[in-house]
Each structure stands twice: as C-alpha cells, then as structure tokens.
C-alpha cells in the first residue's frame, strides 16, 4: 500500500470531480455565449450538456450547435 492510504483514493476522486465539473461548466459557457442560436436552442443544449455531458459535448464539438442543420424555433427566411 502507498503512503497515502485511503487519502489517495479521496484525493483522486476530488480531482476527478473537479475536472469533470470544469469541463461541463466550460461547455455550458460556450453554449450560452453563442449568438447564432436562439434562447430556446441554448436552453436545450445547456440541459443536454448537464444531463448527458459526454454525448452532448461530443455532438457539440464534432457537429456544432446545429447538427445536421437542425434548428429549433427559427423563422424561415
């Protein structure tokens, strides 16, 4: 056993949670700052990132805020 004992596990868990929260907060901030999305789209993305951070974050990063050209509450020109 290492010199850290059970504290090593606790420290590792705290660091993992801190990294996770930092990533989720940074993605939510990026979503909220977008001006090319409607307020409803920003709300939907925010909820998606909070509930499904890995999946929604991957979709946001790979496909952008309008995956496959889908828009929510957007008037047709």
pLDDT band at 60 (very low <50, low <70, confident <90, very high): confident
Measured distance CA(29)–CA(23) in Å, rounded:
10
Residue environment code for 10-36, b if the CB has 16+ CB neighbours within 10 A, otherwise e: eeeeeeeeeeeeeebeebbeebeeeee
Domain boundaries, the chain: 6-69
The pLDDT of residue 7 is: 83
Inter-CA distances, 39 with 12, 23, 28, Å: 37, 22, 13
Mean of the per-residue pLDDT values of the chain: 80
User: What digits encode the pLDDT tens for the residues 18-42?
Assistant: 998 998 898 889 888 888 888 888 8
Closest C-alpha among 4, 1, 48 to residue 28 = 48
The pLDDT of residue 70 is: 60
């Amino acid at each position: 056993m290492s010199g850290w004992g059970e504290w090593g596990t606790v420290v590792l868990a705290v660091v993992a949670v801190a990294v996770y929260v930092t990533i989720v907060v940074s993605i939510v901030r990026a979503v909220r700052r977008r001006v090319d999305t409607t307020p409803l789209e920003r709300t939907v993305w925010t909820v998606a990132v909070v509930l499904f951070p890995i999946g929604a974050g991957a979709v946001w990063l790979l496909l952008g805020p309008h995956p496959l050209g889908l828009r929510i509450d957007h008037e047709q020109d």
